[in-house]
Amino acid sequence: MRGRPLLHTSYVSDQAIFNSGTKKVLVGLFLLILALMPLGVIPGLKWAATNSWMRVFGEVAVLLIAALGLNILTGLAGQVSLGHAFFMGIGAYTAAILGGPEGPLWGLGLPIWVWLPAAGAVAALVGVVIAPTSLRVRGLYLAIVTLGLVFIGEHLFRNFDFITGGSQSGRTFPPLELKLWKEEAPIVSFQTDGSWFGIELSSQAKMFYLLVAFAIVASLLAKNIQRSRAGRAFQSIRDRDIAAEITGVDEFRYKTLAFAISSGYAGVAGALFAAFVSRTIPEAFGLPLSVEVIAIVLIGGAGIVSGMVLGSLFVIVLPLIVQNLTEWLSDLARSGEGIVQSIADFFVATGTFDFGLISSLPGSSPGLNVFQFNQVLYGLLIVGFIIFEPLGLYGIWVRIRNYWKGWPFTY
């Protein structure tokens, strides 16, 4: 109703994905920004149209899909998993076998409409096979079991070099292009510069549009799963599994279903990730990738789809911010004066015997390099959000929103 946007007179309106005019307007503006951003026509966001930033935002879209899958398992069903990178690797190498170029390594050269759904289906099937063993335990023990999958996967991926290419050289993954079958000229290529509807676009901009489209579909699907009967069963198991089972929820069935859906999402994300980077080694699907996806879920806000969007942006863009800040502090430490130089020199090590918090030197040197500092920062942020704001960035947004709703009153 006008003037009372939170008053819902039916279950349909209450459970709608965008159940208020404000949400519809904000989502519409967000989609408009995404559509115009690669064109460089938005004042203040022209920097985002560069190829380097288009690549960053493409990575955000891919890891958003992976995080949405883990969110279904961890955020909705309450099952802790550290093995998401394993299922991403399964999806990536399924895509490589079906869509990769024919040659010394296995590859059938099939189009994207074959290898991308197959990557999700095979990963989901592997998840169903592993689920009965994994779901006999819970909590910390389940986390350790799924952590073991990552190390098993790394071993298998390294040794199946006729598929993966081995640790030294890796392999080429199928390109992001649309074909009917195996014809040489694709209908649409997303990895070459060209014109769309009279607008010149770089390959990075084309891939950005494709990956964002997949991310939007994955987000809507995840939101609908959350609103479905299965989604409500997941949440009841998360909140009180014994009570859920007493009231008729088949705990084993729904935990297995959550594992399968989560693995399917990971498989699709892994296939897109591999095609996006074009060439990678088996170690890319190791523990750091799992930690990155877990950080997105916990920092964004477990159980909330919009929290995954916020978490993906924050976690992927954060290393770039740290890197740029480190370079700026390094310049200040070398050429600054007085107290500014002293503060910069405290944070950044610019010499072999200079002990700073972050090292800007190549190779081994005092202090943490940018990658190591980012790993430490992820850990601190995860711990901090779990203790002080369990709903993550979404929780902070809710606090800000509620403050302005009640302003100027404090109650």
pLDDT digits (tens, 9 = 90+) for 344-372: 777 777 666 666 667 766 655 566 777 77
Cα 234 from chain centroid?
21
Cα 356 from chain centroid?
31
- Could you tell me which residues come within 8 angstroms of residue 195 by beta carbon, excluding any fewer than 6 positions away? 201
Beta bridge partners of 348: 358
* Of 263, 274, 283, 290, nearest in space to 122 by CA: 263
Domain that holds residue 248: 53-284
- Could you tell me which residues come within 8 angstroms of residue 335 by beta carbon, excluding any fewer than 6 positions away? none
pLDDT tens track, the chain, 411 positions: 455 666 777 777 777 888 877 888 989 999 999 999 999 899 988 989 999 999 999 999 999 999 999 999 999 999 988 999 999 999 999 999 999 988 889 999 999 999 999 999 999 999 999 988 877 777 788 888 899 999 999 999 999 999 999 888 889 999 999 999 988 889 999 988 988 888 889 999 999 999 999 999 999 999 999 999 999 999 999 998 889 989 899 989 999 999 999 999 999 999 999 999 988 999 999 999 998 999 999 999 999 999 999 999 999 998 888 888 888 877 777 776 667 777 777 777 766 666 666 776 665 556 677 777 887 888 888 888 888 888 899 999 888 888 887 777 765
Grouping H, G, I as helix, E, B as strand and the rest as coil, residue 189 is: strand
Q: What are the distances in angstroms from CA 276 to CA 190, 210, 273?
A: 10, 11, 5
| Residue 385, in any domain of the structure | no
**145-196 per-position pLDDT tens digit:** 899 999 999 999 999 999 999 888 889 999 999 999 988 889 999 988 988 8
Query: Distance between CA 69 and CA 218 in Å, rounded?
Result: 9
| Residue 326, in any domain of the structure | no
Query: Distance between CA 410 and CA 407 in Å, rounded?
Result: 7
| Residue 340, in any domain of the structure | no
| Residue 104, in any domain of the structure | yes
* Helix 84-99 / helix 140-159 crossing angle, nearest 10 deg: 30
Q: What are phi and psi of 172, to 5 degrees?
A: -90, 135
Count: domains in the chain: 1
| Residue 32, in any domain of the structure | no
Do 107 and 100 meet the contact criterion of CB atoms below 8 Å apart?
Answer: yes
| Residue 304, in any domain of the structure | no
81 dihedral zone (left: phi>0; alpha: psi -120 to 50; beta)? beta
- Could you tell me which residues come within 8 angstroms of residue 343 by beta carbon, excluding any fewer than 6 positions away? none
| Residue 175, in any domain of the structure | yes
Return the H-helix or E-strand segment holding 47. none
- Could you tell me which residues come within 8 angstroms of residue 303 by beta carbon, excluding any fewer than 6 positions away? 71, 75, 76, 235, 238
Query: Distance between CA 237 and CA 230 in Å, rounded?
Result: 11
* Helix 84-99 / helix 251-277 crossing angle, nearest 10 deg: 60
| Residue 363, in any domain of the structure | no
Do 299 and 393 meet the contact criterion of CB atoms below 8 Å apart?
Answer: yes
